[in-house]
Amino acid sequence: MKKLALLFTLIGFLSAIQAQEETQRVQLSARIGLSGTTLLIPNSTISAQYAYGYNTSKQMKLGVSAGLIADIHLKNKLFLQTGLMYGWQRLHQVQTAVFEQESHHLSIATENMYKMNRIKIPLMLYYHTSLENNHFVVGAGLFVDIALSGKIIYDASCADKDPHGSITNYVASGHFDPFLNDTKYLYYHIANDDYTNKYSLYHGNILKRFNWGIAAEAGYQVSKFYFGAHVDFGLANMMNPKFAGEDYKERLFSFQIMVGYKIN
């Protein structure tokens, strides 16, 4: 009888160890979803422009995100999450400004479409309301990401009024990678004229590759499937001060709606 009791005690002890190991192991998940991205431009940035009548508006465009996530069980219902996520991000920006010079009065309107390929590494703490199959999940933490490549599609119109009141309308366009340290060219011509001129806008990178910030997420786990909403609030100034000046700041904000599947 004592041997039988000892055997059952040993079996129970081993089962407890096995269960503990199962809750502490690293859980891998694959995720994919839709994303939206925009630029956050503080009012102080707008008021610092060397122009009057300056205005900017932003519009989110849908992109995609996908990657692998690792959830590391720390204690009870608390998990540490990291991983590697790829994001194809898009955003649309319209800027208008009026500039006064000694001999000219310029009215400029630009329309920019941004496209970026970025890699992100999150580092977040998550709380699971249960360790069973179906439960809610909330989390917060930090992230870092870096741009692999990008593209700006630039379109602009300009009305140049000279001191005699004569107005000339120009149209400009171009496309370039804002992260490369090369010369960005624009092609412009007088409206209703086919002759095109080439103009060097800037030599160097316009946007910085590196970004970091804070993140938050809420979701629901259903067996091996996960449904969640995630936001990233960038804290780094993405604009190169050599291009736009020390006072101009642009920060990235993005959100993702995702579906995940637990691999193990």
pLDDT at 136: 97
* Predicted pLDDT at 166: 85
Measured CA to CA in angstroms, residue 92 lies from 68, 113, 155, 198, 210 at distances of 28, 5, 12, 24, 20
Listed as ranges, residues in the chain with pLDDT below 50 are 3-21
Long-range own/partner contacts, residues 104-108 (CB < 8 A, 24 or more apart): 104/160, 104/161, 104/162, 104/163, 105/160, 105/161, 106/158, 106/159, 106/160, 106/161, 107/158, 107/159, 107/161, 108/156, 108/157, 108/158
What pLDDT, on the 0 to 100 scale, is given for residue 51? 56
What is the per-residue pLDDT across 136-180, written as a single tens digit (0 to 9) for each? 999 999 999 999 999 999 999 989 888 777 888 989 999 999 999
- Return the pLDDT at 53: 66
Determine the pLDDT at residue 9.
Answer: 47
CA 173 to each of CA 39, 157, 162, 168, 197: distance values in angstroms, whole numbers, following the listed order:
21, 9, 23, 17, 11
Q: Token digits for 174? A: 């171009």
Q: Is 103 left (phi over 0), alpha (psi -120 to 50) or beta?
A: alpha
Looking at residue 129, its pLDDT comes to 95
Report the pLDDT value the prediction gives residue 23, as an integer from 0 to 100: 52
Q: Can you give the three-state secondary structure of the chain, one letter per residue?
A: CHHHHHHHHHHHHHHHHHHHHHHHCEEEEEEEEEEEEEEECCHHHHHCCCCEEEEEEEEEEEEEEEEEEEEEEEECCEEEEEEEEEEEEEEEEEEEEEEECCCCEEEEEEEEEEEEEEEEEEEEEEEECCCCCCEEEEEEEEEEEEEEEEEEEEEEEEEEECCCCCEEEEEEEEEECCCCCCEEEEEEEECCCCCCEEEEEEECCCECCEEEEEEEEEEEEECCEEEEEEEEEECCCCECHHHHCCCCCCEEEEEEEEEEEECC
At residue 18, the pLDDT reads 45
